[in-house]
Amino acid sequence: MQSSIRVRQILAVAGVASLVLAGSVMAGASTMAGKHNAADAALVPASFKGKTLQVATDATYAPDESISGTTMIGFDVDLMKAIGTTLGLKINENNVSFDSIIGGIDSGRYAVGNSSFTDTKEREKSVNFVDYFQAGEGVYALKTATAKFTGLKSFCGHSVAVETGTTEESDAQATAKTCPANKKLTVSTFTTQTEANLAVSAGHATFGFVDSQIAGYIASTSSGMFKVVGNAIGVAPYGIATNKTTAGKGLAKAIQAAVKTLIANGTYHAILKKWGVTGGALTSGKIVLNGAIS
């Protein structure tokens, strides 16, 4: 997926100075807390016990992660808090640009990356993933746009706004190389999703390319400015990332156990329901660790 504009209400677009989330979601800082699980907590490596877990998140990707006032909110945020409670760990969310997260995990600055990361083989070379959700790639445009989207080739001859470091950026750039000379694709990359949205709203890009549930959220909260174009493509899992040190692998195993517990006790589904993203839910049997962990 995804902040230097820390207003990750995802639509700080022209004419939409503030975004009011619908229904119970605007409860904002409230969370489905989960319960401490001693067996899961016993899996936490000694180097993390009694310490605050530093988590890196790009909070410009509502409803997954965003900022309400000065508080980070979203289904990823609530899930990470519930994982912390399950494991007996304090959580500190750090709002950072998406493309800096994996490097921050590798360097040890952050213990966890929790930011709608699509679990890809390329990213698995750098970090471990605990898969917990699935999403496709979606496209949105101005309500008045006539351009159609039936697949990546539909981008040829148009301009596309994406966030730096995302799967969408990679896919759009790869597509641009295949477009004919008379139908070039211009890929505009932005540090935050908020900036990408602004580019579309201002007419600087024909399409916005983002994770599918995010595209739906952008359109539904835009007061009629945007619409979803076409159907989602490329459904893939999201993963919570840790580094490949022994401690990082152990932490990933503990997180995996906590996710399974939260699915089993209903907390996971309650969190997804609160944020309107139940369509991406995984079952306990589909939670897997990737990368170097068996």
Query: In what helix (H) or strand (E) does residue 3 lie, and over which residues does it extend?
Result: none
- Predicted confidence at residue 95, as pLDDT, reads 97
Answer whether residue 283 shows pLDDT above 90.
no
* Res. 2: pLDDT tops 50: no
pLDDT of residue 118 exceeding 50: yes
What is the pTM assigned to this prediction? 0.80
Asked if 236 contacts 114 with a C-beta cutoff of 8 angstroms, the reply is no
Q: Does the structure show a pLDDT above 80 at 27? A: no
- Distance (Å, whole) CA 252 – CA 247: 9
Domains and CATH numbers, the chain: 23-135+236-286 (3.40.190.10), 137-234 (3.40.190.10)
